[in-house]
Amino acid sequence: MKRTLTFFIFLIYFLPIPAQEKLGIANSNYSSINSIFLNPASSVDSRTFIQANLVSPNIFALNNEAFLPSFNLWAAAKGDVSPLGVSTTKLNKFLYTKVDICGPEVIVSTREIGFGFFVRGRVEADVRNIPYDISNTLKKQVMDTSKKSFDLNIRNLKAAEMSWVEYGVNFGKMYFKHSNVLISWGGNLKYLTGINIAYADIYRVQAHIDHSAINISDVRAKMSFNQPGWNTGKGLGTDLGVTYKKTLDWVDTYFPNSKKSNCKYIDYRYKIGVSLLDLGAIRFAGNTYKGTIAGHTYIDNLLKVNPDSILQNSFQVSKQTSPIWATLPTALSVQADWNMTYYLHSAKDLHFYVNTSAVQGLTMAGVTGVQRANTLSVTPRYERRNIEIAVPLTLYGYLYPQVGLAFRFRTFVLGMDNVLPLVVKNDTYGVNVYFGLGISMFKNPACKAKPKVKPPKKQLFGDGLTFMAYRKGQNKGIAKSPAYLRRSSRVSSHRAKRGWFRRKSNKF
């Protein structure tokens, strides 16, 4: 129990890392290994035939409580770092975390389908509804030796942390293609191996702190956690997605990355995608603990407190050891992508796109499990086969803006969702970096083979008969002199039978 309390204290006050979606690369037409986690239907009609990912870590930091004043990465490397600042905005504080490591992973896109597999390790945490006056109180009163008496009032604070590994498969298919409309659907099916879960729902804490003494007049809370360990939980999860494309050409006979279409892709005016992410749960069955806490107490020396003793002797505590069901960070996402070549009426392909993506968390408050951060982004990008540059402008929680930068050279990806600390001094609430290493086969090898050359043909008209004349002496698809084609319309029947001419139709 002491370990769990220590964990939550650390999580609330010192962990400034939130969830994010790698929005600089997640909508790329050439990076299906990244885009399937935002919309699994993107493996269909990808402009990369086969893509394999070796490893791609993603670590991001952001909060609205603590910040580095006028922070610049190059100045910090020289030791010029200002003391940590605390936000004074009158908004409830939040902290999110996501550490995501993906690999190995392989995605194939050919003809009318996309498919592949992936292995992905994830650690996510979130703390929300931290009263805005707590940080100010702790900074102004607790650290001031002349003022160590204050009231503490917490309501509906929630904290959760969960770690697990996913073993998943992806599949997508074209559902409808006609004229210049192309609709595809796709999904990821995931088997989940749980490692640990820790969850606390603090309904109410009222207390008065006077120096090292604390008088807790009322506390009501619910906690669930397990002893961390490999395969302590098992579960299933899924992602579902659909995309609608308005193309620049007819797609009735379109087969991406296939010899049937000569491996030519048909670009779009715009595309719209909708996806349901991380729908599922994990059942933790080993070494679990669930309990509710209620009551009041007085502690004369907070520095020498034994959390286990206080919980057992001062509060009403109910314990259970039944399995814990924890939900995944379920979310709904909508993406829209515009091809600016079409909208700027350019005669030349500009390879310039603008994307807008929104992610809305769906996990209900009070449900055991981690919640996803809400995001809204606008991302212009320049996109070619071998190189891609994107600049995501993101609002985390729909309130907190960040400017990012993502770069792709073939399969190598390097990106940040907050690039300002690299260029200017700015109050920094978060720092992020993600990268990926892999290999890509952009073109189907079958398309590189030279097509067989059919014998050229010429129509001859004469005497009411129509013949199809074939060249004689074809050698490796190269025709010899066509002089023999310039013959009289009157030909002998025995030569026609020998293959020099084939009767096409008789018209008398």
Q: Quick count: other Cβ atoms within 10 Å of Cβ 478?
A: 8
CB 57 within 8 A of CB 68: no
Q: What is the pLDDT of residue 137?
A: 64
Does residue 507 sit in helix, strand or coil?
coil
**Cα torsion angle, 21, 91, 65, 156, sign:** negative
Q: Which residue has the tokens 């003022």?
A: 147
**Is pLDDT above 70 for 372?**
yes
Q: What is the pLDDT of residue 193?
A: 96
Provide the pLDDT confidence category of residue 283 given band limits of 50, 70 and 90: very high
CB 353 within 8 A of CB 375: no
Kindly give, in sequence order, each residue whose CB lies less than 8 Å from that of residue 451, ignoring residues fewer than 6 positions away.
none
What torsion do the CA atoms of 132, 135, 138, 140 make, to the nearest 10 degrees?
Answer: -90
Q: What is the pLDDT of residue 358?
A: 94
Q: What is the pLDDT of residue 128?
A: 80
**Is pLDDT above 80 for 188?**
yes
Q: What is the pLDDT of residue 359?
A: 94
User: Mean pLDDT, to the nearest integer, of 76-104?
Assistant: 77
Provide the pLDDT confidence category of residue 80 given band limits of 50, 70 and 90: confident
Q: Please count the CA atoms within 13 angstroms of the CA of 476 that sit on its side-chain side.
A: 1
Backbone angles phi, psi at 197, to 5 degrees: -140, 135
Mean pLDDT of the chain: 79
Can you tell me the distance from the alpha carbon of 358 to that of 143, in angstroms, rounded to the nearest whole number? 40
**Cα torsion angle, 33, 34, 39, 45, sign:** negative
Can you tell me the distance from the alpha carbon of 110 to that of 259, in angstroms, rounded to the nearest whole number? 10
User: Mean pLDDT, to the nearest integer, of 48-53?
Assistant: 93
Nearest to 215 by CA among 135, 300, 307: 300
| Predicted model pTM | 0.76
Backbone angles phi, psi at 6, to 5 degrees: -65, -40
Can you tell me the distance from the alpha carbon of 365 to that of 303, in angstroms, rounded to the nearest whole number? 33
Q: Which residue has the tokens 């260029």?
A: 423
Q: Give the model confidence (pLDDT) of 130-185 as tens digits.
A: 777 666 666 555 455 455 677 777 888 888 899 999 999 999 999 999 999 999 99
Nearest to 115 by CA among 56, 174, 162: 174
Of 78-92, 297-311, 340-354, 367-381, least confident by mean pLDDT is 297-311
Provide the pLDDT confidence category of residue 426 given band limits of 50, 70 and 90: confident
- pLDDT cut 90: percent of the chain above it: 36
Q: Which residue has the tokens 């996913």?
A: 166
Q: What is the pLDDT of residue 478?
A: 40
β-pairing, 113-130 vs 149-178, is: antiparallel
Does residue 496 sit in helix, strand or coil?
helix
User: Mean pLDDT, to the nearest integer, of 39-65?
Assistant: 88
CB 479 within 8 A of CB 453: no
Can you tell me the distance from the alpha carbon of 52 to that of 386, in angstroms, rounded to the nearest whole number? 15
Can you tell me the distance from the alpha carbon of 140 to that of 219, in angstroms, rounded to the nearest whole number? 25
**Cα torsion angle, 316, 322, 323, 325, sign:** negative
User: Mean pLDDT, to the nearest integer, of 469-492?
Assistant: 42
**Is pLDDT above 70 for 423?**
yes
